[in-house]
Copies of this chain bind each other. A is one copy, B any other.
Amino acid sequence: MPISRSVKDALGSSSMIRKMFEEGNLLKKQHGADKVFDFSIGNPDIEPPDAFHRVLLRFAQEDAAGLTKGVHGYMPNPGFPAVRDALAKKASREQGVTLDGSHIIMTVGAAGGLNVVFKTILNPADEVIVPRPYFMEYKSYVGNHEGILREVDSLPDFNLDLDAISKALSEKTAAVLINSPHNPTGRIYPAATLRALAEILEAHGKKTGRYPFLVADEPYREIVYISGGTPPVLAAYRHSISVTSYSKSLSLPGERIGYIAVNPGIQDEEDLLSGLIYATRVLGYVNAPALMQRIVAELTEESVDVGVYARRRDAFKTVLDKAGIPYANPEGAFYLFAKVPPKKGGSTAVTDIVGDDGAFVNHLKQYLILGVPGSGFGKPGWLRFAYCVDETLIRASGEAFKKAMETWV
């Protein structure tokens, strides 16, 4: 076979999602894009903030005037020193610990950052513990570097199940991977939960001699609806690493710009930092895109208007409430994780039913509503709606949801 067996297998299993996209596009062609309630994709539709456009324009003008030199060339693999310094200040504020530029590695988005981290810390067959449901690409990011993703359940409210994590720990555990605010549930892990997790990991490290890293995937850290923001992982646990991007906070997902923040005083700090830089190089990223590095360093106080997402969230909750579809109340990010409702005439004990999410997604499709089955996140019986679409469309979907529920029998 000319292509890799594992890639060939993956193509087979991801063809369902591809088919879903194709069907969605077909529906839009048939009915008009504004008639299809497409909540399937997490592609922020909000434009970057004005400050982004201003900085881009200023840099472009300086370039055109010949005032810059070498700014599109290679810089050290972890990024421009001035950019790393600026982001260290930002990360220090957010994470409650004092970082300097050496603790920041600029990356090709958070996805690039996670691959760099796993390349650096995983030996073959090492395990990374992740709470279910989870963003399915994690399996690839860990598998790319010969690691094994070890899934554990979350609590019914989708907070971390510390007992489940504790039981999954072993000498093969290289890391625990968390994502807060969480895709697909919108859950934000409270500071007390992070502290309790840290105690468990510390105790495990003391006993086995191997302290698991706590890797926090935080691209949604600034999209928050509750007071207090996203509690910092670096302040909670010594051996923690935050990976984030500007894909959501500045609506720049296509520009692939993010960074890794490593906790000062983390175990084997020097080797770890050198390893992350080495991994950035040999994985072929080489460095994060130069122009975007310089731009985000100027925008450490900026983010998109979270109020827009908050209003959409409220509108979507109203729609689902009226339709009688239960969901987890989102505290951050721009996803709503809904439970497949019981069929009319079926049991009303909603909490005991694992509904057929594939069937419900297909049923909704007849009413031109597109979502993603929870099975795609390791959580059958649920489905994800992404509300990074216009509020008008969300409101307009109310009627379609109601009709869909009437015929869900």
Contact = CB atoms under 8 A, between A and B. Distances in A.
Nearest to A211: B2
A115 interface: yes
Given A72-B48, A254-B289, A275 B121 contact: no
A119 interface: yes
B53 A271 contact: no
A268 B2 contact: yes
Given A73-B44, A141-B282, A278-B14, A289 B287 contact: no
A7 interface: yes
A300 interface: no
Interface string A13-43: 0100000000000000000000000000101
A309 to B, nearest CB: 15
Nearest to A137: B282
B112 A285 contact: yes
A287 B256 contact: yes
Contact of A47 (B69, B113, B253, B290): B69
Interface string A100-133: 0000000011011111100111110000000000
A386 to B, nearest CB: 12
A170 interface: no
Interface stretch (A60-68, A317-325, A362-370): A60-68
Contacts of A213: 2
B57 A284 contact: no
B122 A4 contact: yes
A274 interface: yes
Interface residues of A, number: 83
B72 A111 contact: no
B7 A119 contact: yes
Interface string A252-278: 111111000000000110011011001
A279 B56 contact: no
A274 B11 CA distance: 7
Given A53-B63, A271-B11, A140 B289 contact: no
A5 interface: yes
A121 B54 contact: no
Interface string A291-334: 11000000000000000000000000000000000000000000
Contacts of A2: 121, 210-211, 213, 239, 267-268, 271-272
